[in-house]
């Protein structure tokens, strides 16, 4: 099972095997260090520094959220709130997110947090699934899509040019153009691709069960889209 480490703002991670608390493997330590050095945008989140008795460490900055390494190790960074334990810090973070104006977390049901051990990533997945549930209740988007096909029956409008080119021998076929009402839209493909991604990341059975149910709703929708192409349009 993938490892999870929970720290607070300004706490640090280390790869000193003699000390257990906040320890990460040298492989992950080096990978994160390399990422920080090659990405200026990572500087506000983690800083490379040194600490007596540990040597080189990775210190969290003024940032809360989750980071994940290639081997699946999840690092949670929670708010540093005086006189509160880890579980309370997580609860306070969710409450703060719920108060944000136009926050996607505003309607999150705090009853989901029955266990303080629920990883923050799983909480974010729950929030996404809650929002998706509301969308599905309203109905996912569908639209008319123009199609051209060579059919054994007549439908829509006959494409004279293609009919002559393709069916001069096969008189029983019709090369037609027609509109079909489908839900295979870019927005729905994006949602389905996200659901597949979250299914691989989630470790909680309740989340995985909900994802399987919602994937059934998007059964006729394609996925594994090229996100960069979509957002560049």
Task: Choose the final residue of a domain: 45, 80, 115.
Answer: 80
Confidence (pLDDT) at 105: 67
* Between 215 and 141, the higher pLDDT residue: 215
95 with 200, same domain: the answer is yes
Confidence (pLDDT) at 104: 66
Which residues lie across from 176 on neighbouring strands?
Answer: 149, 158
* Ramachandran assignment for 30, one of left (phi > 0), alpha (psi -120 to 50 degrees), beta (any other): alpha
Q: In what order do the strands lie in the sheet with 143-151?
A: 143-151, 174-182, 157-158
Q: What is the DSSP letter of 42?
A: G
Q: At how many degrees (to 10) do helices 120-138 and 205-217 cross?
A: 30
189 with 223, same domain: the answer is yes
Predicted confidence (pLDDT) per residue in 165-184, tens digit:
888 887 788 888 877 767 77
Cα distance between residue 148 and residue 2, in whole Å? 48
Model confidence band, residue 225 (pLDDT cutoffs 50, 70, 90)? low
43 with 135, same domain: the answer is no
95 with 59, same domain: the answer is no
| DSSP H or E stretch at residue 209 | helix 205-217
Look up the domain containing 154 and give its range: 143-182
Model confidence band, residue 231 (pLDDT cutoffs 50, 70, 90)? very low
Q: In what order do the strands lie in the sheet with 4-8?
A: 4-8, 74-78, 65-68
pTM metric for this prediction: 0.69
Cα distance between residue 31 and residue 17, in whole Å? 17
Q: To which residue do tokens 């096909």 refer? A: 149
Model confidence band, residue 109 (pLDDT cutoffs 50, 70, 90)? low
- CA angle 116–120–124, rounded 5-degree value: 125
74 with 90, same domain: the answer is no
* Ramachandran assignment for 53, one of left (phi > 0), alpha (psi -120 to 50 degrees), beta (any other): left
Which residues lie across from 66 on neighbouring strands?
Answer: 76
164 with 229, same domain: the answer is no
CB atoms within 10 A of CB 90: 23
């Amino acid at each position: 099972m993938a490892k999870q480490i929970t720290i607070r703002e300004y706490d640090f991670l280390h790869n000193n095997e003699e000390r257990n608390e906040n320890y990460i493997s040298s492989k992950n330590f080096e990978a994160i260090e390399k990422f920080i050095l090659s990405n200026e945008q990572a500087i506000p989140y983690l800083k490379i520094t040194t600490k007596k008795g540990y040597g080189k460490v990775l210190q969290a900055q003024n940032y809360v959220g989750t980071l994940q390494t290639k081997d699946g190790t999840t690092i949670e960074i929670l708010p540093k709130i005086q006189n509160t334990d880890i579980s309370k810090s997580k609860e306070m973070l969710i409450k703060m997110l719920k108060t944000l104006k136009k926050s996607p977390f505003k309607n999150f049901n705090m009853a989901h947090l029955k266990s303080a051990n629920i990883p923050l990533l799983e909480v974010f997945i729950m929030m996404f699934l809650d929002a998706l549930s509301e969308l599905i209740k309203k109905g996912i988007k569908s639209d008319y899509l123009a199609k051209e096909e060579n059919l054994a029956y007549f439908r829509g409008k006959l494409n004279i040019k293609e009919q002559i080119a393709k069916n001069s021998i096969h008189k029983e076929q019709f090369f037609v153009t027609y509109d079909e009402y489908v839900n295979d839209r870019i927005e729905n493909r994006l949602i389905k691709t996200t659901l597949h991604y979250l299914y691989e990341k989630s470790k909680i059975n309740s989340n995985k069960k909900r994802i399987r149910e919602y994937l059934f709703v998007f059964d006729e929708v394609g996925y594994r889209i090229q996100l960069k192409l979509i957002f560049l349009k």
